A and B are shown apart, each in its own frame.
Chain A
Amino acid sequence: MMKAVLKENLQLLRIELETYRMLISSQSPLPIHLRGIHEWLTWFYDEVITQLLNQAEKMLFKNTEVNNEIFKRLQIATRQLRIYHQYTTAIHRYRESDRICYELIGWLHKQHPIVGNKPFAVIDGDFKIYPDEDYPLLYFLPSASQYSLLHLPLFFHEIGHYFYKLKKATLQIHLEQLQIRLQSHFILPFQHNDRKYREQVKKVAIIIGYIWPNWIQELFCDAVGVRIGGLPFIYAASHYLRMGGTTMFHLQSKDIRNSSHPIPWLRMKFICRYGSDLGFPNESNTVLEEWNTMAAGLKLKENYHGCYSDQYYADVKTCIDQMIAEVNPILFTDHNASIVEFDYSKDNFLSLLNLAWREYHQNPMGYSTWESGVIEKIVNSEKTLVDIGDSYIRTGT
C-alpha cells in the first residue's frame, strides 16, 4: 500500500519536473541576460532533482525497510521544486522591458569581482534579495519600480546582503566586537541571581544577541547602498521607506523586539550621516529634516525601547566602517560622471541614476515623460550584453 502511494507521488513529481523543463525552454531565442539562470536551472532539474527522484525510485525495489526515507526524499524534491520555481518564473514571464534591471545588476556584479559570474534573476515582489551561496541570486522589485529609474538604486542595498553572506566569517568578528561594546552600555542594577536580575539579563540578551545581528546587517547594507549609489540611493531610500505609515517612525516594544530591520527613521539617520561623511552634508540634512518634519506632524517621538540610544552611535558606526572596509564596495565617485544626457554607448548606470534624480528634482511634473523616453531608448537599443566567460561586456554598434 505504502509503496503504491510512493510510486504515484514519484510519477506526479516526474510530470511536474517535465513541466518546469518545458517552461524554461519557453523563451526562444533565449535572451542573453537569462543565459546564466537558464544554465543553472537546467543543471538543477537534470542533475539535482532527477538524482533525488532516481534514487527514490531505486529504493522502491529494495527489501530493506526504507519507505520513510523514500517518502522524505520525495518530500525534499517537492519542496525544492516549489522553492526554486521562482527562478523559472523569471524566464517564462520575461519581457523585453526587464532588460534594464538585468543590465543594471549585470553591471553592478561586474564591478565587484567577489560576486564572480554568479547567475541571477529578477522577479516581481517587494524590494529584496535571496542571497544564497549555493543558488542563483534572486532579486525582487515591485512591478512599477521596474519601470522607474528613481527606485533602482535600492538594488545597491540588496547586493549588500550578498556581500555580507560572502564575507560573513570576517564580518562576524566585527559584529562580536560590537556586541561586546554594546554590552558595556547595559549596567545591570541588580547583581543578585534573583528573578529580576535574570529577566534583565534576558532582555539584554535579546537586544544584543538577537536584534543587533540583524540590525547591523541592514545598516551595513544601507551603507553599501550610499557608497555605491551616492545621492540617488539616499533619495530612493527616503522616498521608498517614508510612505510606510507610522511604523516607519515608531514601533511598539514587542514589535521592535521581533523586527529584523531597524526602524526606518533610525536607518535614515545612519544613511544621512554616512551620506554627509561622503560629501553630501546639505542634501543629507534636507532629507533628514523632511523625516523630522513628518514625525513632528504625526506627533511621533524617537523611542527604541532600549534597543538603540545615541550613546551607541559611535560603536555602531565603527562596526559599519570596519565592515565596509572588509568588503570594499565601489565608491560612486569612481564611476559617476555628471552628464546632461544619457549616452548608452559610453555612460554607466550611476550617471544615469544621478541624471534621473536631477531631472526629477528640476521638473517633477515632466519627469515621467523624460524617463519614458530614456527607458524606451535603452529597451529598443540594438546593443546587448554578451556573457563572455566571467564578465559582461557591452557590444553592438
Chain B
Amino acid sequence: MNDTKWLAFQSLSRNQNLLRAINTLIAYLKLERSKENDVFSKEEAANSKDTLITFLEEVKTIVEVPSMENIATAFHGFDTRFSSLIHSFQQAREKQSSFRSNLFRTRIDDTIISLKAEPLTAKPELIESLLELESLIESHEAEDYKNVIGDI
C-alpha cells in the first residue's frame, strides 16, 4: 500500500533476465568458437540475443534522442528504477568513465547490428561490450537485491 519494494522487485526480475541472457550468450559464443558447445541450444542463444536486442533498442531511444527541452517525451513514463538504469548507462557513455567497449564508445546501433549478425560470432569487441553491459547491470541489480532481500 505504501511500500517501494515492488518497484525494486520488478527491476530485480528484469535485471535477472538480462544477466541470464548475457551470461548465456557469452558462454555460448565462447564454446561455439572452440567447437565445444553441447551445453546451449541454438534456440536458447537466440532467445538470449532477442532479449538483449529488445533492451538495447529501448535504451537507444532514450540515451541517444532526448534534449533538455523535451522533458516529457524523453522519459516515456518509465519507472524510477529503469530511469536510474538508463542514467547509469548515460554516465557510462561519458568521456571520463572507465567503460571502454564499443557499446559505450560508439553508437548503440553498432552493438545491435553485431548481435543481429548471422551467424553470430564471438568477435572480441562484442564480448567486451557484453561484459561491460553485464558489469553495469550487476551494480544496478545488487541495489535491487539489497532492497528486496536485504544484506546478510
- For residue A99, CB closer than 8 A to chain B, the reply is no
Contact between chains at A66 and B30 (CB < 8 Å): yes
- In the complex formed, the residue of B with least CB distance to A62 is B36
Q: How far is the CB of A262 from chain B (nearest CB, A)?
A: 10
Q: How far is the CB of B92 from chain A (nearest CB, A)?
A: 19
Q: Roughly how many angstroms separate A72 CA and B27 CA in the complex, as a whole number?
A: 10
Of A65, A73, A80, A260, the contact of B7 (CB 8 Å cutoff): A260
Contact between chains at B27 and A208 (CB < 8 Å): no
- For residue B1, CB closer than 8 A to chain A, the reply is yes
Contact between chains at B6 and A161 (CB < 8 Å): yes
Q: How far is the CB of B6 from chain A (nearest CB, A)?
A: 5
Of A76, A130, A179, the contact of B9 (CB 8 Å cutoff): A130
Contact between chains at A172 and B39 (CB < 8 Å): no
Q: Roughly how many angstroms separate A176 CA and B76 CA in the complex, as a whole number?
A: 6
- For residue B145, CB closer than 8 A to chain A, the reply is yes
User: Inside 8 A of B2's CB, which chain A residues have their CB?
Assistant: 126-127, 241, 244, 261, 264
Contact between chains at A126 and B19 (CB < 8 Å): no
Q: Roughly how many angstroms separate A175 CA and B72 CA in the complex, as a whole number?
A: 9
User: Inside 8 A of B31's CB, which chain A residues have their CB?
Assistant: 59, 62, 64, 66
Interface size on A, residues (CB 8 A): 57
User: Inside 8 A of B40's CB, which chain A residues have their CB?
Assistant: 55
Contact between chains at A127 and B39 (CB < 8 Å): no
- For residue B83, CB closer than 8 A to chain A, the reply is yes
- For residue B75, CB closer than 8 A to chain A, the reply is yes
Q: Roughly how many angstroms separate A242 CA and B75 CA in the complex, as a whole number?
A: 32
Interface centre among B40, B72, B149, by most chain A C-beta atoms within 10 angstroms, is B72
From B10-18, B98-106, B108-116, the one touching the partner chain is B10-18
Q: Roughly how many angstroms separate A237 CA and B1 CA in the complex, as a whole number?
A: 9
Contact between chains at A59 and B39 (CB < 8 Å): yes
User: Inside 8 A of B149's CB, which chain A residues have their CB?
Assistant: 82-83
- For residue B71, CB closer than 8 A to chain A, the reply is yes
- Chain B residues 79-96 with CB under 8 Å of chain A are 79-80, 83
Report A16-57 CB contacts with B as 1/0, cut-off 8 Å.
000000000000000000000000000000000000100100
Contact between chains at A63 and B34 (CB < 8 Å): yes
Q: How far is the CB of A219 from chain B (nearest CB, A)?
A: 13
Contact between chains at A183 and B72 (CB < 8 Å): yes
Q: Roughly how many angstroms separate A69 CA and B5 CA in the complex, as a whole number?
A: 29
User: Inside 8 A of A66's CB, which chain B residues have their CB?
Assistant: 27, 30-31
Q: Roughly how many angstroms separate A216 CA and B5 CA in the complex, as a whole number?
A: 17
Besides A72-B23, A76-B16, A79-B16, 4 new A-B residue pairs in contact (Cβ under 8 A), listed by A number: A69-B23, A83-B149, A130-B9, A213-B83
